[in-house]
Structure 1
Amino acid sequence: MVNVKLGRRAIGQVVSSTDFMMPYTFGVELMGDRATLVDGLILWNDKAVSLTELRRANPFPDVVLREARAVDGNPAIRIECDMPASADVRQHPFQGEIDELVHCIRTGRESHLNVFDAQKTMEVCLAADRSAIRGGRPVGLPLIRS
């Protein structure tokens, strides 16, 4: 698990492992100052999120928004659609990356998913390891300065 500071106003958390003996998962959690999305539920504390407004603003016909309850019994909104964690590989997020790679090869264009992007991902992983060795102290990026 890695906690990252994104600019001055946001933080993120990345969790990944290739060592767990478990089925494929692809969890998505978004946390904001007014609402949180976790396990397909939109949750809030203070001002309720309007289901009517969300439905009106939703541009995706395959995405259904329903009234729901959180584990603690509080009101929530359930997002019903195929998510990347499903066993249906058509819903996995990787097809776009594969399509991009093939398009770049065919047109001779550099992909935005290139070796330099991969370097940034690797630096986050290496920084997480260094931080763990240093007792959880932050490690600044980039590790390699040009």
Structure 2
Amino acid sequence: MMAQDDGRLGVAIHGAGTVASAHAASWQKNPNVQLISVSSRRPATARRFVAQHQLDCTVHERLEQVLADARVDIVDLCGPNHVHAEQGIAAAEAGRHLMIEKPMVLSSAENRALRDAVARAGVKSLVSFVLRWNPLFENLKSLLAADAIGDLFYVEVDYWHGIGAWYSGWEWAHTRATGGSAMLLGGCHAVDALRWFAGDEVESVAAVSNNRRALFEYDANVVAVVRFRQGAIGKTSVLLDCSMPYSFNIDLVGTEGTLRDNRLWSTKLLPGQSNWATLPSILPDSGDVHHHPFDAQINHLVDCIRADRESHCNVADAYHTHELCLAIDRSIAAGGQTVPLPLD
């Protein structure tokens, strides 16, 4: 750890778009870090970013400049999807801890390469599946841990978010080469939540898709059916063509109850229950990155680095989320055939 003289960890934000803005606001709240630099392939964008957030830091253009700066302990990668893997590998090989936006990779080869590079380097990492820190997610995980709904046998999580040319990242998001796929672009949040709530890995998946509006180079609407290793079954979907408010649907069904978003039915906890109990909580009901709990995510990463422990949301764990996304894409390419996991 190459902490500053005052003990704070030096942070470099690489990529100065919308999500980086939300990250910067959260980094500024953590007393154990100092923002060292902001960088972008468009230096003017980085300079505007620094001025907007009133930062006293260096502006760089290239990641190589960031990694050559001895003050930097953590690299926060916020660029377009297709550069995440290459930049993550470079940061790890330079001995920097990293926070990397999703998706962290666009192919199985990248998935393996990034996982292995981080493991070899021994650096701490966190992939930005930020909804793991959403208060409703925390409540649901607590109820599952307390066995509130008994043996979990069905898990369903959906990411329905109509995306079009209005999106600030549309230039790269809608193409296969730089956006990846519907599952990698946005559906990976639902796939990660599926794994997170199940507490298990998927052993097989079959998926179908369509591209009704033809806005994307890849199919924008996908539904996948999965079987987990311990016998539970599930479903996940992503709809990028939908015309409706952002929706992140969660259904967890057990032998003694059910959780539907923020509603609880539990014959074990509430034997006299006559209607759904509602959990007062902040819901994952907005696609606005400023609604996401980045404060908690960033605090978690900093704590992991300072305590020398691994995050539950590190690159090694996110490898499995991305592997499932890629298996879904493989099933679609094969006309909906069942794909076994692991892929390799």
* TM bucket, shorter chain: 0.5 to 0.7
- Structure 1's unaligned 5+ residue stretches are 57-66, 68-74
Aligned to 1:36: 258
Kept in 2, the 8 Å contact 1:29–1:36? The answer is: yes
Match of 1:123 among 302, 323, 333: 323
Taking only the aligned residue pairs, the percentage that are identical comes to: 39
TM-score normalised by structure 2 residue count: 0.29
> How many angstroms apart in 1 are the aligned matches of 2:335 and 2:297?
36
Aligned to 1:5: 227
Structure of higher CA gyration radius:
2
The alignment's C-alpha RMSD in Å is 3.5
> How many angstroms apart in 2 are the aligned matches of 1:112 and 1:40?
23
Letter in 2 for 1:54: L
Deviation at 1:95, TM superposition (A): 5.0
Match of 2:277 among 66, 71, 78: 78
Q: Which region of structure 1 is more displaced relative to structure 2, 123-132 or 13-22? A: 13-22
The answer to whether the aligner puts 1:101 opposite 2:301 as a matched pair is yes
> How many angstroms apart in 1 are the aligned matches of 2:243 and 2:294?
22
Letter in 2 for 1:101: L
Q: Higher RCO, 1 or 2 (CA under 8 Å, sep at least 6)?
A: 2
Distance 1:98 1:23, change over 3 A: farther
- Structure 2's unaligned 5+ residue stretches are 1-222
Kept in 2, the 8 Å contact 1:104–1:111? The answer is: yes
> How many angstroms apart in 2 are the aligned matches of 1:100 and 1:39?
25
> How many angstroms apart in 2 are the aligned matches of 1:39 and 1:14?
14
Kept in 1, the 8 Å contact 2:301–2:311? The answer is: yes
1 or 2, which has the higher helix percentage?
Answer: 2
The answer to whether the aligner puts 1:15 opposite 2:237 as a matched pair is yes
TM-score normalised by structure 1 residue count: 0.60
Q: Deviations over 1:9-40 (max 9, x none)?
A: 21122334566565443322112245433244
SS at match of 2:328: helix
Q: Which region of structure 1 is more displaced relative to structure 2, 19-28 or 107-116? A: 19-28
